[in-house]
């Protein structure tokens, strides 16, 4: 059985109306997110263009590369968030595994652009704890999804 976060039918008219308002808001957010993604891609192209046309010509130093990688990762995270919104709109169910994967990607971006010269050990431990917690959560959710898939498959085979 699929759990719907915002069912279209509800006995209370106020709740039904509020669900419509929230669904409309999510649709609006998906349009805004698409615009942010396009703007972000244009920004990445502009940053690369600027960095390649400044001295030394057509050369990126390691700081430039970190800036470009960080910007690209930010675009990828934006795309993941858009996919979360799109899946939510299509199914009315929050895709937990994808949300956790998006969080992992966001923390990976933080690790990639982390400047260890200006970072305290407590901050590194905090990031490590977040990565570990998200990794374990992702593994548990993926394991549950795999078990759920096997159960559905065996039920279908039993029906045949």
Examine residue 77 and state whether it is found in any structural domain, yes or no. yes
Residue 3 lies in a domain: no
pLDDT at 7: 65
What is the number of structural domains in the chain? 1
pTM for this entry = 0.69
Least Cα distance to 25 among 77, 81, 89 occurs for 89
Task: For residue 8, tell me if it sits in a domain.
Answer: no
Q: Is residue 4 part of a domain?
A: no
**Domain membership flag for residue 74:** yes
What are the 10-residue block averages of pLDDT along the chain, 160 residues in total? Answer: 59 85 88 94 90 81 81 88 81 78 88 84 93 94 79 70
Q: What tokens appear for 77 in the block?
A: 């995270």
Q: Within a domain: residue 2?
A: no
Question: Domain for residue 1, yes or no?
Answer: no
131 with 107: CB under 8 angstroms? yes
29 belongs to a structural domain: yes
Domain that holds residue 62: 13-159
Distances (CA, A) of 136 to 22, 70, 76, 143: 31, 25, 22, 10
8 A C-beta contact, residue 34 and residue 82: yes
Query: What local confidence, expressed as pLDDT, does residue 139 receive?
Result: 92
At 74 the pLDDT is: 87
């Amino acid at each position: 059985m699929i759990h719907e976060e915002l069912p279209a039918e509800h006995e209370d008219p106020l709740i039904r109306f509020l669900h419509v308002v929230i669904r409309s808001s999510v649709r609006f957010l998906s349009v805004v997110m698409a615009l942010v993604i396009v703007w972000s891609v244009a920004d990445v192209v502009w940053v690369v263009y600027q960095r390649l046309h400044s001295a030394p010509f057509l050369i990126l130093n390691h700081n430039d590369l970190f800036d470009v990688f960080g910007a690209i990762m930010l675009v990828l995270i934006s795309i993941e968030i858009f996919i979360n919104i799109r899946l939510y709109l299509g199914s009315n169910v929050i895709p937990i595994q994808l949300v956790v994967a998006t969080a992992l990607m966001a923390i990976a971006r933080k690790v990639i652009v982390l400047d260890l010269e200006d970072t305290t050990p407590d901050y590194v431990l905090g990031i490590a704890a977040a990565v570990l917690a998200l990794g374990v959560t992702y593994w548990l959710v993926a394991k549950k999804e795999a078990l759920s898939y096997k159960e559905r498959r065996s039920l279908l085979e039993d029906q045949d």
